[in-house]
Amino acid sequence: MASTITDSQKPFSLDPYHVSEEFGFILPAPLAELPPYYQPWMDIAQHVTELIYSHMLRSHILKMPLLNTQFLESHRELRLAHLALSVMTMGYVWQEGEDDTVKMLPRNLAIPYCEVSQRLGLPPILTHADAVLANWRKRDPQGLFDMENLELLVTLPGGDNVRGFFMVTLLVELAAVPAIKSIPLVINGVQCGDAETVTRALEEFSQAMQGMTDALKLMHDVSYVVPVYVKPEVFYGIMRIYLSGWKDNSSMPAGLVYEGVQAEPMEYSGGSAAQSSLLHCFDELLGVKHEAKSGAFLTRMRNYMPPSHKRLIQDISLQPSLRGFVQQQACEPLTAAFQLCVTKLLALRSYHINVVSRFITVPAARARQLRNQGNISQEETVSRAPTALEETGTGGSGIMSFLKTVRDRTRDVSI
C-alpha cells in the first residue's frame, strides 16, 4: 500500500539545483555579450580561430589589458566570461600544436580566469559546462531548438564541424530533459511505496534515453537522410587538441603555471563527455556501481561540473535504492519498466562506443599507418593530430577500455 511522505522526508525536488524545467542542465538563454568594459576579451574570444591560423593569438593575448572581474555581476555574465577566457586559454596553449606548448599562462589572462572560475566553482579550463551548455543561441529567437537554428557564441578551429560537435551534444542534453524531470517522481514514488507512479516515471525515463541515442546519431549518421555534422578526420586531426588538457597529457607533463595566481603548475583534464551530469544522475538512480579505476575518473569529472549539478548527483545517491524497491515490490510492470531503462542506458553507452571508435580509434590507426610509412602528408587531415592523445580521451582516460568497463557495469544492474 502506498504511504505518504512525512514532514521529515520532504519531497525530493529539482528546485535547489539550478536545473531548468525546459532545458535541464543547459544554461537557458546564455548572454552573447559582456559589459563594454570587457570588450577586449570578447574581441579576442570571438576571433580565436583566425588568430590561431595566423599564429597571432598569443601575441594578441599578451597585449590584452589586465581587467578587474568585480564588474561581472550575474551568473550569466560569469558563464560567458568563463567561456570566453576558456577558448582564449585553449588557443593560447595549443596555438602551435603539441610541439610548441607553453609553460605559463600570462597573468592578464590567468588572474581574471582563475577569479571567474572560483566564483562559479568551475576549474580554469574549457569544460562541457562552457563549450556545450553555455555556448549557444538561436539564429531566429522564435524558431525551433534544432541544428538548423542553433549557432555557437564562440568557436575553435575545425570550421562547421565544431558547431556540429557541440550542437549535437547540446541536443543530447535537451533530449534528456524528460528523464531529468522524472527523477523526483521516481524518488518520491519509492519513498511513498507507490509502484504505479514509479512505473510511469521510469517509462518516461527510458523514452528520453532513446531520444538521447537518436540525437547522438546526428553526429555522424551516414544515411543519406541526415547530413553529416562532424567529419571524423576533422574531429581527430584538427579539433581534438583544442579540447585537451594539461593533466595525464605527455605533451604537457608538468601542467601549466597560471601566472600571478600561484608559482607551482596546475593540472586540469580536458573536455570529456563524462563532465555531463546526465549519466552520473542516471547511474545513481539505477544503482550502477563502477569499477574502482573508472569510478575514480568519473568522480573526478564531477569537479568539472557546476557545483549545484554535482550536488544533485550526490543527493540522488543518498536516496533509498530504486533497484531494491523494484525487487521488493515484485510487480511485473515495474520490473519491466526498470529493465527497459537499463536496456536503453546500455544502448546509449554502446552507441557512444561506436561513435568513439569512428572518431578516434579508426583515425588514430590511419594516422599511425601514415607515420609508419613515413608519409606525414598534410593532405590527410588525420596526420595533423597530436600523437600524445592517440588512444586517449581528451579528458585523459584510456578511452576504449574505460567505456567498455562502464558499459559492462551498467549491465550488472539488470534484474
Per the annotation, where are the binding residues for heme b?
Answer: 352
- The grid coordinates of residue 303 equal 569537479
Pick from 138, 223, 125, 128: which is nearest to 172 by CA? Answer: 128
User: Residue 195's beta-bridge partner residues?
Assistant: none
Pick from 237, 242, 244: which is nearest to 359 by CA? Answer: 237
Rounded Cα gap, residues 178 and 205, in angstroms:
7
Burial code (b: 16+ CB inside 10 Å, e: under 16) for 69-81 equals beebeeebbbbbb
257 contact partners, CB below 8 Å, separation of at least 6: 103, 104, 105, 263, 264, 265, 266
Do 289 and 409 touch, CB atoms closer than 8 A? yes
Rounded Cα gap, residues 302 and 330, in angstroms:
34
Residue whose C-alpha cell is 555531463: 276
Q: Could you tell me whether strands 150-151 and 137-138 are parallel, antiparallel, or unpaired per DSSP bridges?
A: antiparallel
Annotated binding site: 352
Do 213 and 25 touch, CB atoms closer than 8 A? no
Residue whose C-alpha cell is 518520491: 188
Do 161 and 359 touch, CB atoms closer than 8 A? no
